[in-house]
Amino acid sequence: MLNQVRYFQAVVRLGSFTRAAEECNISQSAISQQVKALEQELGVVLLERAGRSFSLTPAGELFYNKSLVLVADCDRLVRDTVRAARKEQAELRVGYLTNYAGTAMQAAVSRFSEKHPDVRVLLMGGSHEDLYEALQGEKIDLAMSDQRRAFSDNYVNLSLARIDVCAEIAARNPISGLSRVTAEELKNTPCILIASKKQQKTEQAYFSEIIGIRSDFLFAGSPDEARLMAVQNNGFLLTDSSAERVGNTTVRVPLVNRGNPITVHYCAFWKKDNSGYYVEEFAEILHEVFSASDIERP
């Protein structure tokens, strides 16, 4: 019966017996017979047929929606049972920069998991230094971070993108009305950084000495906490132009230096002696996601 349910789902999802048959690698007559057999088993009509077209009956719509959950649970049960029997499970440990606000990492994880459902992706957020230490200590297999050091020969260093930096500030703050802003113009407004207590001094030094921020610094433990601080007009949050917008309580103003955009260089890093198939596969997917975005690439 499970295969019949899968055939029925394919017909509904694709809106065609012909396309469903092609996807399922069986004949059109066979998939039609399987759907009819499912209806006979249930004792209800799932599809109202009218020539070459069809529509879902109320019972068919209910069965389709509920069956999606049922089949997904069944597939997971089978995978978990096999893993338990083998007493093993493939894992990929990925680190990501906590203050990265774009959607590329989520998209890459989604694509990778769809392609490799049997591989468990373990995610770790942290600052640049947290991720660097985790890579050195082999606590993660790959890190998506910003470049702050010269590339090392001990690592694969994959450039992903250069993205413009913005100052995200409360909409009611007068600075939000500017088309662009400099660090000098922000010097009297605190800069909100996302960092653990251990990394606060390191992050402050980087953003003041390298990025050129002249403001006092406030610290948040998470992106949500940092954005709430910005919404309350406690300071401005450094984010990038590719980040997904959240409501209209804050405004992003491009940050410039001498008229030129300030950018952050995002890269993927992993040890050359840990360059396994899944690591390279994930890095390739991450690169594709960044490449498909409307952002400047190195």
The owner of tokens 């920069």 is: 97
The CA-atom distances, in angstroms, between 98 and each of 17, 50, 118, 124, 281 are 46, 54, 26, 9, 22
254-273 burial, b at 16+ Cβ within 10 Å, e below that, comes to: ebbeeeebbbbebbbbbbee
What is the predicted pLDDT for the residue at 224?
87
What is the predicted pLDDT for the residue at 270?
92
What amino acid occupies position 268?
A
Residues near 92 by beta carbon (within 8 Å), at least 6 away in sequence? 112, 119, 120, 121, 122, 141, 142, 278, 279, 282
Q: What's the rounded Cα separation, in Å, for the pair 268 and 237?
A: 24
Cα distance between the two ends of the chain: 53
The length of the chain in residues reads: 298
pLDDT digits (tens, 9 = 90+) for 89-121: 678 999 998 888 778 899 999 999 999 888 889
pTM comes to 0.65
What is the predicted pLDDT for the residue at 285?
94
What is the predicted pLDDT for the residue at 242?
67
The CA-atom distances, in angstroms, between 166 and each of 73, 183, 221, 239 are 43, 11, 20, 5
CATH of 2-86, one of 1.10.10.10, 3.90.1150.10, 3.60.15.10, 1.25.40.10: 1.10.10.10
Q: What's the rounded Cα separation, in Å, for the pair 185 and 190?
A: 11
What is the predicted pLDDT for the residue at 298?
36
Instruction: Name which of 21, 35, 90 is nearest 64 in CA terms.
Output: 35
Helices 28-42 and 2-14 sit at what angle, rounded to 10 degrees? 120
Q: What's the rounded Cα separation, in Å, for the pair 173 and 231?
A: 10
Residues near 206 by beta carbon (within 8 Å), at least 6 away in sequence? 128, 148
pLDDT band at 87 (very low <50, low <70, confident <90, very high): low
What's the mean per-residue pLDDT of the chain?
A: 87
Q: What's the rounded Cα separation, in Å, for the pair 278 and 285?
A: 10
CATH architecture of 91-298: 3-Layer(aba) Sandwich (3.40)
Residue 237 near residue 168, CB atoms below 8 Å: yes
- Where exactly are the structural domains of the chain? 2-86, 91-298
Q: What's the rounded Cα separation, in Å, for the pair 156 and 3?
A: 44
pLDDT band at 219 (very low <50, low <70, confident <90, very high): very high
Residue 32 near residue 94, CB atoms below 8 Å: no
Is 2-86's fold the same as 91-298's? no
Give the percent of the chain with pLDDT over 70: 93
